[in-house]
Chains A and B, each alone.
Chain A
Amino acid sequence: MTANFTLLFLAIFVGATYWGWTWPYIAKMMPLYVAAIPGVILTLVQLYRDGTQWESQEKNRAKGIEMDEVHNIKLDRQTELWRTLAFFGWFIGGAVGVWLLGIIYSLPALVFFYALIDGKEKLHTSLIMAMVTYGLVWGLFEYTLEMRWPPGLLIGY
Chain B
Amino acid sequence: MADHGTSAATHGGGGGHTSVKTYINVAIVLAIITAVEVATLYIPGIPNWLLVSSLLIMSAGKFYLVVGFFMHLKYDHQIMRALFVGPLLIAVIIILAVMALFSAFLLLPRPH
Chains A and B bind each other: no
Interface residues of chain A, those whose CB is within 8 Å of chain B, are: none
Interface residues of chain B, those whose CB is within 8 Å of chain A, are: none
